[in-house]
Chain A
Amino acid sequence: EVQLVQSGAEVKKPGESLKISCEASGYPFTAYWIGWVRQTPEKGLEWMGIIYPDDSDTRYSPSFQGQVTISVDRSIRTAYLQWSSLKASDTAIYYCARARSVYDSPGVFAYWGQGTLVTVSS
């Protein structure tokens, strides 16, 4: 069974750094792109970027390029989303997700993590 299990909720102050995780199981980790999606009440769902664990090839949405870093650790089957300096506007739920099949486009998501709530407040 494919599972994406995300790290728990975080409360941070503006300017702090943060790295949240998404641990994958139930499939060959390096064979599928993993994506990240942000959700806020104001903007809804936003596609942030995707990474191919086999070679760490990463594609960012222009809106998130330079704002976050997506990475993987193949040894522990985990993808990460990282900020170096958080802003209040980063407050959101963040989901990791994966396509159903290697024959699907990597950017359409059939499997989702449970979401990680990130709250940034002074």
Chain B
Amino acid sequence: DIQMTQSPSTLSASAGDSVTITCRANQTIDPWLAWYQQKPGKAPNLLIKRASILDDGVPTRFSGSGSGTEFTLTISSLQPDDFATYYCQQYDNYYPGTFGQGTKVELK
């Protein structure tokens, strides 16, 4: 099974900060990596697919990068609306996807 490990589990930051979340896979998954944002009581919202492609309507302050087994999500200039939990997900055509355990971005 492909395992996904996110770090950190919690990230304290202020509005305006730039933050980076890391996701590591236990085997190569390039480029089948997605990032989601989830707010309490809501379904996840797809931000990035194929490691670096922003989904429709996602602000450009979100960016994704990486390859092989290590990937990052960067939020430049955090906005109040960005305080949420973020998940990475590996996926491939028809192969079971796996989510990371999540990173909560909270107000410092």
User: Which residues of A does B touch, CB under 8 Å?
Assistant: 37, 44-47, 49-50, 59-62, 95, 97, 100, 104-110, 112-115
Contact = CB atoms under 8 A, between A and B. Distances in A.
A1 B33 CA distance: 26
A119 to B, nearest CB: 16
A44 B103 CA distance: 11
Contacts, number: 68
Contact of A44 (B34, B45, B99): B99
Interface of B: 1, 32, 34, 36, 43-46, 49, 55-56, 87, 89, 91-102
Contact of A110 (B55, B89, B97, B99): B55
A105 B97 CA distance: 11
Given A62-B96, A113-B43, 17 more contacts: A45-B36, A45-B87, A45-B102, A47-B89, A47-B91, A61-B97, A62-B1, A97-B43, A105-B91, A105-B92, A106-B94, A107-B96, A108-B32, A108-B34, A108-B89, A112-B43, A112-B45
B62 to A, nearest CB: 15
Contacts of B92: 105, 107
B101 A61 contact: no
